[in-house]
């Protein structure tokens, strides 16, 4: 957390845009269709997350990427909500 927060952060806080966008996309994943993997992998939220993950810099020689979505509640351990397949880079 920032030590200093401007009064304007309630109206304009560009550093939170990525976190908010990822949160919005993750909450719109069609979890009820997860067993239909081909349809699930073609959903817009899945493709947006995969595109973001694939664009993160990584070590030379990486040939695949994947992602896991975890959920948590206060006073409970985190749980896995979804784990993607590996996708070639």
Among 35, 71, 58, CA closest to 87: 58
- Residue-wise pLDDT tens digits, 11-64: 776 777 778 888 888 888 887 776 777 888 888 999 999 999 999 999 999 999
Look at the pTM and tell me if it is higher than 0.85: no
Domain parsing of the chain, residue ranges: 16-88
């Amino acid at each position: 957390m920032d030590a200093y927060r401007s009064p304007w952060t309630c109206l304009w806080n560009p550093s939170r845009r990525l976190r908010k966008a990822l949160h919005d996309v993750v909450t719109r994943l069609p979890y009820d269709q997860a067993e239909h993997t081909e349809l699930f992998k073609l959903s817009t939220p899945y493709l947006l997350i995969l595109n973001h993950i694939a664009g993160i810099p990584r070590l030379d020689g990486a040939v695949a990427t994947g992602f896991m979505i975890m959920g948590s509640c206060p006073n409970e351990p985190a749980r896995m909500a979804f784990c993607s397949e590996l996708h070639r880079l």
